[in-house]
Amino acid sequence: MPAPAGVEIRLYRVSDYAAVTSFKCADPRRSWTREAELVIRKAPDDIRSPDAKAQIVVAVDDGRIVGTIVFGIDPQHQKTRSIFTIGVVRDRRREHIGISLKRAALAELVATGYDGPVYSQVHRYNTPMRELNGTSDLSGA
């Protein structure tokens, strides 16, 4: 399943800083989305460190960041990689942008030589993402 037409999936760039640190994906009806938004907003500062253990991939449509994934070395299990969070702006959900971001993150991990498991926690009602987890070397629910 490719990214939606017109959506570019790519690694974070320093020029994305303002857009990512002000990224909005929280849904007031879904409390867990606020935490994802906060992790995403903090990530650009976290990856500036020389010993950064995370990476960011963004989804861009017509110059607007419409989705973000933060992933990398699991701080509690150094030999494992984790998807820390994925966020998609509310008006672009249900377009498989999150799946495209996760696939890009997994491809980036492979490109860097990692071939172990990746932990990814998914909401039980997110069927497309759960199906992706089932077809990938992913651990978690």
For residue 136, pLDDT over 70 is answered with no
Tell me, what amino acid is at 67? G
Class of domain 7-139: alpha beta
| Exposure class string for 38-69: b at 16+ Cβ within 10 A, else e | ebbbebbeeeeeeeebbbbbbbbbeeebbbbb
pLDDT at 105: 94
pLDDT at 41: 96
What is the CA angle 49-52-54, rounded to 5?
135
pTM: 0.86
Q: Record the tokens describing residue 70, joined without a space.
A: 């933060």
Each domain of the chain, given as residue ranges in start order, spans: 7-139
